[in-house]
Amino acid sequence: FRIKDRNPRHSSAAVYAHFRHARRHEGEAEGNITIFWFEHGWFWFIPMTEDTTSVGMVTWPYHMKTRQGRSLERFLMDNIATCDKLQERLAQAERMTEVEAT
């Protein structure tokens, strides 16, 4: 069975983790998803349960190749550092899961 076929027009990769104590919007907007663009793709910021927030980077294969031996954690955090607004939201946050990639 060829249940899973790769779409050649969709070749992006995601690198992500969950964080605790990330700064969210205030009031009714607290649970809103935020997207941040950066030079090589975009980041998601998804408030989940209580104090857990999913943060991930979607990027292109050419950019994944620039990882050059860095851990996924270092690669994600280095890229977050290029996005001031996201970095501000994570200033007091702590990562609570391993960084994973798809």
Is residue 56 in a domain? yes
Confidence category of residue 99, pLDDT binned at 50, 70, 90: very high
Please, what is the end-to-end C-alpha distance for the chain in angstroms?
22
Is residue 6 in a domain? no
- Residue range(s) defining the domain that contains residue 42: 13-101
How do 34-38 and 100-101 pair as beta strands? Answer: unpaired
- Taking only the tens place, the pLDDT of each residue in 25-63 is 999 999 999 999 999 999 999 999 889 999 999 999 999
Record the pTM.
0.89
Do 92 and 24 meet the contact criterion of CB atoms below 8 Å apart?
A: no
Which CATH number does the domain housing residue 78 bear?
3.30.9.100
Number of domains in the chain: 1
Is residue 2 in a domain? no
Is residue 5 in a domain? no
